[in-house]
Amino acid sequence: EARGELRGGRFVAGVAGEQFALPEALGLLREVRKRPPSGELVAVSAVDPLNQLGALLPGDKVPALPGNRILYRDGVPLAVLVAGKPELLAELDEAGQREARRLLGRG
């Protein structure tokens, strides 16, 4: 930060402590904040740095092991796949549950 390579501040609401970002990332963070929710579903591997359950996000930690996955909608975790077993973190209708299992790789 002192060399001007990073910017310090509070960029993500609800996350305690100072956060750091590359200067070119600040515009992107502001843009995302202004976007309306899209409803897009994104499944990521639990070894991905986006695995923030139990760290930055509330909930139980998902072990960072190959095969474990997390399903997000608009940045909110909906379901996880741990040790081959899917678990819902939010209420979903029957079609939503099927889609969650499919995206987690066990559909």
- Give the CB-side neighbour count of residue 94, counting CA atoms within 13 A: 0
Smallest CA-to-CA distance from 81 within 96, 62, 97 is with 62
Smallest CA-to-CA distance from 105 within 66, 58, 52, 62 is with 66
Report the share of the chain in percent with pLDDT over 90: 34
Q: pLDDT tens for residues 73-99?
A: 987 889 999 999 999 999 999 999 999
Q: 96, exposed or middle or buried, with CB in 10 Å at 0-12, 13-18, 19+?
A: middle
pLDDT band at 107 (very low <50, low <70, confident <90, very high): very low
Residue located via tokens 């940045």 = 75
pLDDT band at 13 (very low <50, low <70, confident <90, very high): low
